[in-house]
Chains A and B, each alone.
Chain A
Amino acid sequence: MAPPAQSQRSASPSQPSGKGEVSDLKSQLRQLAGSRSPGVDDSKRDLFKKVISYMTIGIDVSSLFGEMVMCSATSDIVLKKMCYLYVGNYAKVNPDLALLTINFLQRDCKDDDPMIRGLALRSLCSLRVANLVEYLVGPLGSGLKDNNSYVRTVAVMGVLKLYHISASTCIDADFPAMLKHLMLNDPDTQVVANCLSALQEIWGSEASTSEEASRERETLLSKPLVYYLLNRIKEFSEWAQCLVLELAAKYVPSDGSEIFDIMNLLEDRLQHANGAVVLATIKVFLQLTLSMADVHQQVYERIKAPLLTLVSSGSPEQSYAVLSHLHLLVMRAPFIFSSDYKHFYCQYNEPSYVKKLKLEMLTAVANESNTYEIGLQAKMLSWENLDSVVVGDLVSVTELCEYAANVDIPIARESIRAVGKIALQQYDVNAIVDRLLQFLEMEKDYVTAEALVLVKDLLRKYPQWSQDCIAVVGNISSKNIQEPKGKAALIWMLGEYSQDMHDAPYILESLIENWDEEDSAEVGDLISYVKGRSYEKFDRYTGLNVLVRLHLLTAVMKCFFKRPPETQKTLGAALAAGLADFHQDVHDRALFYYRLLQYNISVAERVVNPPKQAVSVFADTQSSEIKDRIFDEFNSLSVVYEKPSYMFTDKEHRGPFEFSDELGNLSMGAESTGTVVPAQRVEANDKDLLLGTSEKEDSRGPSTNGSAYSAPAYDTSSVSASSQMLSELVISNSTVPAHASQSSLAIDDLLGLGLPVATATAPAPSPPSLKLNSKAVLDPSTFQQKWRQLPVSLSQEYSISPQGVAALTVPQSLLRHMQGHSIHCIASGGQSPNFKFFFFAQKAEASSAFLVECVLNTSSAKAQIKIKADDQSASEAFSALFQSALSEFSVP
C-alpha cells in the first residue's frame, strides 16, 4: 500500500506529530506481546488499527516492526492481516526488515489454517525483492500442491510474481509445467483461470527467446484445451469467463460444424448481465463467422437486442463502453441497424460523450437508407420496409435538427455536421437543404458557421442547388461570422458564385479593407491561446485565420475573372495586402497570383478558376485497413479510441496473446532507430479521393497527436490534402496523383514479371515459372493468422554479398528492392547487426500466399529464411525466387 500524499494533508487537522505516540504504542505492544490473558487479542486489534492509521497518514511507524511481528504470533486472522499490511508496506522501503519478515512469513506458510497459509504466501511473494527469491521457491512449490483451493489460487499468482522478479528462477524451478498441469487438472475454476492468465503472460514473453515457449503458447490455443475450458465455462466466475472467451476468440476451428457447436454452447452467455461477458462472447461469434457471410449477418441480428439492453441498463460509463462497440458495428453494417434508429436518439440528460457517439450512429444509420434504395433488388426488401426506413430517415434528420437548437454547444455543432453528412450522402437532398438553410437563419453564430461550412460542401457536390443556397447565403453578413472556418466557407462561396451574387465584389472589398483586422484578430487569438493550455487548439486556430486570408485571395481572383471592372481595384488591394503579409503561405500565394496575372491573364484564369467537376465522394477519414484492424481488436480499447492498438500502446502491452507483439515490436524498433520505413502498403485509392476542407482538418487534427508510430494512412491523408490544395489552386484535376501512382505500379509490374530466376550465386533449377502478383495485398491480421496456422515449409540460410551488407545500412532500400520483385514487406525492424523482416507474396494467378520471415545478420553476412506457404509444393520455387531477389540486392 502506498500511503498517498494527499491523505497526509487532509487526514486530520490535529495530526499527531509522531514521536511520542509511536513510543507509547511501542511499550503497549511490548506489554501485550507476551500476555496470554483472555481478551488480549481485542486490545491488540485496537493497537494495530492505530498503527495502521498512523502509517496511512504518513507517520513513520517502522520502528515498531519487531513488536508488530512478535504480537502477530497469534491465531487471530484479523491481527495477522493487519500485520501483513504493515509488513508489506515497510518491507518495501526497508530491506533489512524484509529479511526479518521472511522467516515469520515462511512459518505462517505452514500454518494449519489455509487462510493464513494463503495470506502469508501472498505477502511473501509481494515482497518482490530479487535477492530473496530463493526463499520463495519452496513455499510456492508446496502452495501449488496445497489441498486448499484458496492457497493454490494465491500460489499461482505467486508464480507469476516470481517470474517478474526473476524469470530464470521461475523457469528453472519448472513452475510453468506445474501450472500447466494444474490448469488441466484442478477442480477449482479460479485456480484454472489464474493458471491461464499466468501462462499467457509467461509463455508470451518467453516466446521471443525460446522455441519451446512459443510452442507451448500455441498449445494454449489447441482444440483440446479450448474445448476443455469452454465446456466448463459456466463454472467459472464472470471475470474468468471473459478470459476463456478471449482465448476462444483466437481459436481457429477446423470446420463449420465446430463453429456452430461453439456458438450454440455460448448462446446463453449473450443474456448475461455483465457487459464484459456479453462483449467477449460477441467477439467469439464475430471472429468465428468472418468467413461465412450469411451466418455473420445472423450474428449481427442476434447480438443487437442484448447490446441495446446493456446500453440502457448500466451506468453511463458502462453504456459508453458498449455503445462504442455498437458504434463500430453500426459503421460496419448500418443497414442492419437502420430500423433501430430510435434507440440512438439522444436523451437530454446523457453525458456529452454518449451523445456524440449516438449522433454518429444516427448519421451512419441514415446514410444507409439510400443504399437500400439503390440495392433494392439485391437486398430483396419489401416496399413496406423501405418506406419505414425512409420515414425513419427523415425523422432522424428532424431529430438532429432538434439537437441543433440545443443549449449544449458542442452537441449542437455535432448535430449540424451530422445533418450535413446525411445530406452529402443522399440523393434526395431537398428537405435536408431546406433544414440547413433554416440553420443559417437561426442567428446563433456557431450554428451559422457550421451550416456555412456544410452548405459549401453541399455545393461542391450538388452544384445544381446553388441558386437556392446563394439566395440565403447572400443575406448573411460576414461581420456576423466570427469563426474562421465559417468565414472561409462564406468567402469561398463569394468567389465561386460571384456572378450570381450581386454584392460579391463589394463584400470582398470590405473584407480586404479589414485585412489587418484578420491579422490583429490572429494576434489576439494567439495571445489568448498561449495563455490557455491547449497548443493544439492554438495551432488550429491560427491556421484557420491564415485559411481565411488564403481563401480571400483566391476568391478575389475568381471574382476578378467573372466581373473584372468591379473587382480590379479590390484585387490590387488584396494582392498588396497579401504580399505584405507576414505569413509565408499567404505571401507566397499572393506573389504567385501576381506573377501569374503578369504572365498571362487567360492562363491565370485557367489555373485559378477552371470549370469544376462536382465531387462525387468525400474521402473517408479512416482507411478500410485501419477499420479492419480495429474490428479485429473488438472488445478492447481500440474500439473506444477508434484506433488500432499500435497507435496508443507500446510493445508488450497489447494484451495477452497478441501475435502482433512480435510484429509490433519490430516496427517499433524501426521507429526508434529511425532507419526503417513503415512497410505497410499505401492504399492507392486514398489518393483518388478529394478531401473536403472541413473533413481534412477533422481527420488531421486528431491523427497527428504526437503518436510516435507512423501509420501509412495518415501520410496519404496529408499527401492528398496538400494535393487537393494544389489542385484547387492550379489544375483542379485531382486525378494527377493517381496517375503518378499508377505509373509507378506499372514499373513495379515490369520489374516484378521480368524476373531473372537463376543467378551466379544461386544456380537453382529453373522453377516452373512461378509468377508473383505485383499488387499482392494482405492485411496484417491475416498475415498473423496465416503465420500462426501454417507450418514452416522451408527453412534455409543464404549468404549475402558484401555490397548487400553495405546497402543494409539503409534497411528500407531492401524493402524497395524486394517490392520490385513483387515481394512485399509487412513489418520490419531490428538494429545492426541483426535485422528482421516479414515479407509476403502472392501467386499471380491464384490467391495462394507465401509468408517469409527473414533474419539478416550483417556481421556474418548470413540470411536465415523461414517460408510458410498456402501451397507447400510451390515453396521451393518461391524460395529460389526469393533468394535470387535477395542476391540482386544492391547489385547494380
Chain B
Amino acid sequence: MISQFFVLSQRGDNIVFRDFTELANYCMDEVDVGMGLVVSDRGEVQKGSAEIFFRKVKFWKEDGDGDAPPVFTVDGVNYFHVKVAGLLFVATTRVNVSPSLVLELLQRIARVVKDYLGILNEESLRKNFVLVYELLDEVIDFGYVQTTSTEVLKSYVLNEPIVIDAARVPSLGPAAIFMQGNKRMPGTAVTKSVVANEPGGRKREEIFVDIIEKISVTFSSSGYILTSEIDGTIQMKSYLTGNPEVRLALNDDLGIGRGGSSMYGNLPPHDISVLHHATDYGNSSVSGPVFLDDCNFHESVHLDSFETDRTLTLVPSDGEFPVMNYRMTQEFKPPFRINALIEEAGPLRAEVILKVRAEFSSSITANTILVQMPLPTYTTRVSFELEPGAVGNTTDFKEASKRLEWGFKKARIVGGSEYTLRAKLTFSQESHGSIVKESGPVSMTFTIPMYNASRLQVKYLQIAKKSKTDNPYRWVRYVTQANSYVARL
C-alpha cells in the first residue's frame, strides 16, 4: 500500500506529487464550520516527505557512502525510488510492503508515462501534468495498484498528450541507439506516443521487436576471459490496431537451463551440477546450439508450443514491454579484445599502451565507444600519442578522478580493425613499483547495432491479420551493448 507518489527533477523540484491516503484535512477548530474531524489511522506520510527524501539522497553521496540505496527508511517512513531518464520516481509508505513490488511499480509507471508521452523527460512531464495525474488516478486508487497496462488505461485516460519535439531531445535508453547511423530504421518511431495520432491522421501499422543484449566480460591481465555473461531482452513495441496475435520464432535448437515443469515430490533431488556444466560449457561452442541459463516471460506470452518448436505466441498490448528476458553464461566470442600494459619508464615516469581490436565482421560497425582507465593518484600529467592516421579519436586525462579517457565519439570502429593508444605519465612521487596495483582496470563501453553476441535469433515474426492488403511494418533489430567490459592489468 502506497501513501505518496512523486517525481523529482535532478535538482529536487517536485514535478508531480500525489498523496493517495490524504485524510484529515479539517482540524478540530473548524468544527463550527460544520465539518467534522477525520482522523487518519492509515498512517499518512507527512507533507514534507519530498524534501526529506531529496536531502537524504543528496547527502548520502556527500557523506561518502556511495549512492543512496533504492529503499531506505527515515522516521518510520519508507522511501522507494528509481532513476529514469534523469528523473527520480519516488513512492512512500509506512507499511512493510514488498520492495520488489513498489520498485517494479515505479518502473512501470515511468514506462506507462513514456508510452503516452512518447518521450519521458522533465519538459514533457511538465507539459502533460494533467494527463499524468489522470494516469496516476487510474493506476493507483487509495494506495492500491489497479492496473499498469497501457492497453487498459487507454480506455480510461482521455487527455491527448502534448508531444514535444523529439529531434531536440537526446533520447535515453536502449532505443536511442537506433537513432544514430543506421538509416534503414525510422528513428522517430520509438519516441512516438502510443495514443497520439500522427500528423497524417491515420496511424501507421508497425511493430518493433528489439533484441537487446548487454554483455559483461572480465579479462585477466593475460587476456584470458575470467567471467562472461549476456543479459538479454526481447523488447516489443506495438502500434498495431485490432490486437492481432503475433508469433515469434526463436532458434530451433535453443536450449534452456532445465525443464521448467518439475514436479515437486515426485522427482529425485535435482542434480546440482547441472548449472555447473552449463557454466563450463566447452571452449569451442562458438558454433552449435544456443544455450540459455534461464529466462522469463511477459504475462501475455503463451508458451504452449515453446517446448516443441521454440515459438512464442502473444497478443501484444499497446506500449513497450519485454517479451522475454534471458541470461546466458555459455562461452561466446567477445566483440572486442583489449590489451593494456603499464610500464615504468624511469623514477617518475610510466608508459601506458592500450590496444583495442574489433573481432567482428567488417560489415558491422560499433559506435559510442569509450575506453577508461584509472591511473595512480600521484599522476600529474599525461601526454598522448595516437597512431598516425587515427581520426575522430579523443583523448583526455581527467585531473579530478585521475582517469584516462579514450573516446571514439566521432569515429566508428569497423569490424576487424585495431587501434592503439600510447600515453606517457608523469608522477609527483616515486611509485615504489606498485603502479600496476594502483591503476586500472581498463573498462570499455560501446554499442554495436545489428550484432548479437548470443546468436539468439528471431527466425520469423508472424502477424495474424485478416486483410491481406494491409501489411504492417515489422522491424526486428539487434543491438549489443557493453555492461561491464573490463580488462585487468
Q: How far is the CA of A411 from the CA of B66 in the complex (A)?
A: 9
Q: How many chain B residues have a CB neighbour from A under 8 Å? A: 120
List of B residues within 8 angstroms of A443 by Cβ = 432, 434
* A7-B15, A95-B33 known; A274 vs B104 contact (CB < 8 Å): yes
The answer to whether B38 touches A653 (Cβ under 8 A) is no
A residues near B471, Cβ cutoff 8 Å: none
- A317 contacts B107, C-beta separation under 8 Å: yes
Check B438–A405 contact: CB distance below 8 A. Answer: yes
**Residue B50 at the A interface, CB < 8 A?**
yes
- Known interface pairs A129-B35, A150-B156, A272-B299. Does A321 touch B100 (Cβ–Cβ under 8 Å)? yes
In the complex the two chains form, is B294's CB within 8 Å of A309's CB?
yes
The 5 closest A-B pairs by CB, nearest first: A352-B66, A347-B484, A130-B36, A4-B14, A313-B325
Q: CB distance A305 to B146 under 8 Å?
A: no
Q: Is A308 a contact partner of B293 (Cβ separation < 8 A)?
A: yes
Cβ contact of B76, chosen from A130, A444, A641, A650, cutoff 8 A: A650
- Interface residues in B396-444 by Cβ distance below 8 A to A read 401-402, 432, 434, 437-438, 441, 443
Nearest chain A CB to B108's CB is how many angstroms away? 9
Q: A2-B22, A239-B148, A308-B294 are in contact. Are A339 and B101 (CB under 8 A)?
A: no
Q: Does A764 contact B (CB under 8 A)?
A: no
Q: Could you mark each residue 75-96 of chain B with 1 if its beta carbon is under 8 Å from any beta carbon of chain A, else 0?
A: 0101001111000000001111
Return the chain B residue nearest A125 by Cβ: B142
As a 0/1 sequence over residues 52 to 69 of chain A, the CB contacts with chain B under 8 angstroms (1 = contact) are 110010000000000000
Residue of A nearest to B83 (CB): A317
* Contact between B41 and A205, CB atoms less than 8 A apart: yes
Which of B83, B227, B437 has the most chain A CB atoms closer than 10 A to its own CB? B437
Contact B98 A1 (CB under 8 A): no
Find chain B residues with CB under 8 A from A299 CB. 264
Residues of A700-720 at the interface with B, using a CB-CB cut-off of 8 Å, are: none
- By beta carbon, the residue of chain A nearest B261 is A267
Chain A nearest CB, measured from B344 CB (Å): 16
List 19 extra interface pairs beyond A4-B17, A339-B279, CB under 8 A: A7-B13, A81-B134, A131-B34, A238-B299, A260-B263, A274-B104, A274-B299, A275-B104, A276-B101, A317-B82, A321-B103, A343-B229, A345-B218, A352-B65, A353-B70, A410-B66, A637-B73, A640-B69, A655-B96
Q: Name, among B50, B104, B133, B134, the residue most crowded by chain A CB atoms within 10 Å (CB to CB).
A: B104
Check A653 against B104 for contact (C-beta < 8 Å): no
Kindly list chain B residues whose C-beta atoms are within 8 Å of the C-beta of A758. none
Point out the residue from A93, A96, A237 that lies within 8 Å of B25, measured CB to CB. Answer: A93
Known: A273-B297, A275-B104. A649 touches B94 (CB 8 A): yes
How far, in angstroms, from A654 to B275 measured CA to CA in the complex?
38
- Asked if residues A95 and B260 are in contact (CB atoms below 8 Å), the reply is no
In angstroms, how far is the closest chain A Cβ from the Cβ of B364? 24
A131 touches B36 (CB 8 A): yes
Known A-B contacts A636-B96, A637-B73, A653-B95; the reply to A128 vs B25 at CB < 8 A is yes
Give the distance in Å from the alpha carbon of A315 to the alpha carbon of B102 in the complex: 13
> Within the assembled complex, what's the spacing in Å between the Cα atoms of A649 and B231?
36
Given contact pairs A85-B130, A260-B264, A443-B432, A154 touches B38 in the complex (Cβ within 8 A): no
In the complex, what residues of A have CB within 8 A of residue B297's CB? 271-273
> In residues 361-401 of chain B, which contact A (Cβ within 8 Å)?
374, 401
B189-197, B244-252, B265-273: which one contacts chain A? B265-273
From 97 to 126 in chain B, residues with beta carbon under 8 angstroms from any chain A beta carbon are 97-101, 103-107
Query: A733 an interface residue at 8 Å Cβ cutoff?
Result: no
A interface footprint on B51-73 (CB within 8 Å = 1, 0 otherwise): 00000000100011111111101
19 residue pairs A–B, Cβ–Cβ below 8 Å: A154-B141, A157-B141, A157-B142, A161-B142, A190-B147, A237-B145, A237-B149, A260-B263, A268-B261, A302-B262, A306-B296, A309-B325, A320-B69, A339-B275, A348-B486, A349-B443, A388-B276, A442-B437, A653-B95
Interface assignment of A297: CB less than 8 Å from any CB of chain B:
yes
Q: A129-B38, A161-B142, A409-B64 are in contact. Are A237 and B147 (CB under 8 A)?
A: yes
**Which residues of A lie under 8 Å from residue B227 when comparing CB positions?**
342, 345
Determine if B206 is an interface residue (Cβ-Cβ < 8 Å): no
Q: Which residues of B contact A153 (CB under 8 A)?
A: 141, 146
- Chain B residues within an 8 Å CB radius of A272: 296-297, 299
Q: Does any Cβ of A come within 8 Å of B255's Cβ?
A: no
Q: How far is the CB of A262 from chain B (nearest CB, A)?
A: 10
Question: With A7-B13, A653-B43, A653-B94 known to touch, is A309 a contact of B26 (CB < 8 Å)?
Answer: no
Cα of A40 to Cα of B99 in the assembled complex, Å: 48
Interface string of A276-296 (1 = CB under 8 A from B): 101110000000000000110
A324 CB within 8 Å of chain B: yes
Is B73 touching A648 in the complex (CB atoms < 8 A)?
yes
Q: Is the CB of A298 within 8 A of B434?
A: no
Q: How far is the CA of A302 from the CA of B297 in the complex (A)?
A: 17
Are A6 and B14 in contact, CB atoms less than 8 angstroms apart? yes
Complexed CA–CA distance, A239 and B326 (Å): 22
List A residues at the B interface (Cβ < 8 Å): 1-7, 9-10, 49, 52-53, 56, 77-78, 81-82, 85, 92-93, 95-96, 98, 115, 122, 128-131, 150, 153-154, 157, 160-161, 164-165, 190, 194, 197, 205, 237-239, 242, 246, 256, 260, 263-264, 267-268, 270-276, 278-280, 294-295, 297-299, 301-302, 304-306, 308-310, 312-318, 320-322, 324-325, 336, 339-340, 342-343, 345, 347-353, 356, 385, 388, 402, 405, 407-411, 442-444, 533-534, 633, 635-641, 645, 648-650, 652-655, 658
Please state if B41 and A164 are interface contacts (CB–CB under 8 Å).
yes
B202 at the A interface (CB under 8 A): no
Indicate if B144 sits at the interface (CB-CB under 8 A): yes
Tell me the chain B residues, 468-489 only, with Cβ under 8 Å from chain A.
Answer: 483-484, 486, 488
List, in ascending order, chain B residues with CB within 8 A of A260's CB.
263-265
Task: Say whether, besides A318-B103, A645-B96, A129 and B26 are in contact (CB < 8 Å).
Answer: yes
B67 touches A649 (CB 8 A): no
Q: Which residues of A contact B296 (CB under 8 A)?
A: 270-273, 278, 306, 309-310, 313
Complex Cα gap A639–B101 (Å): 13
Q: Does B257 interact with chain A (Cβ within 8 Å)? A: yes
**Contact of B158 with A by CB under 8 A:** yes
A9 to B1, CA, bound (A): 31
Contact residues in B for A305 (Cβ distance below 8 Å): 257-258, 275, 293-294
Q: Bound state CA distance, A1 and B137, in angstroms?
A: 10
| A116 nearest CB across to chain B (Å) | 11
Contacts of A402 in B (CB 8 A): 441, 488
- CB of B29 within 8 Å of the partner chain: no
Please measure, in the bound complex, the distance between the C-alpha atom of A443 and the C-alpha atom of B377, giving whole angstroms.
12
Most buried by B among A302, A312, A652: A312
* A130 pairs with B37, CB closer than 8 A: yes
In the assembled complex, B243 has its CB within 8 A of some CB on chain A: no
Q: Is A655 in contact with B95, judged by CB distance below 8 angstroms? A: yes
Distance in angstroms between the alpha carbons of A654 and B93 in the assembled complex = 11
Interfacial chain A residues near B295, Cβ < 8 Å: 271, 309
Residues of A within 8 A of B137 (CB): 122
Measured between beta carbons, the chain A residues less than 8 angstroms from B275 are 304-305, 339-340
Are A312 and B269 closer than 8 Å at their CB atoms? no
Nearest CB on A from B456, distance (A): 14
Question: Taking the nearest CB of chain B, how far is it from the CB of A59, in angstroms?
Answer: 15
CA distance A404 to B265 in the complex (A): 45
Contacts of A348 in B (CB 8 A): 441, 443, 484, 486
Residues of B contacting A442 with CB < 8 Å?
Answer: 434, 437
Q: How far is the CA of A348 from the CA of B445 in the complex (A)?
A: 11
A167 to B11, CA, bound (A): 42
**Provided the pairs A649-B95, A653-B94 are in contact, do residues A294 and B13 lie with their beta carbons within 8 angstroms?**
no
Task: Indicate which residue in A92, A122, A164, A317 contacts B103 across the interface (CB closer than 8 Å).
Answer: A317
- If A153-B146, A388-B276 touch, whether A297 touches B262 (CB-CB below 8 Å) is no
Whether the Cβ atoms of A308 and B327 lie closer than 8 Å is yes
Chain B nearest CB, measured from A549 CB (Å): 26
B333 touches A (CB below 8 Å): no
Residue from B33, B83, B149, B299 having most chain A Cβ neighbours under 10 A? B299
Judging by beta carbons under 8 Å apart, are A652 and B269 in contact?
A: no
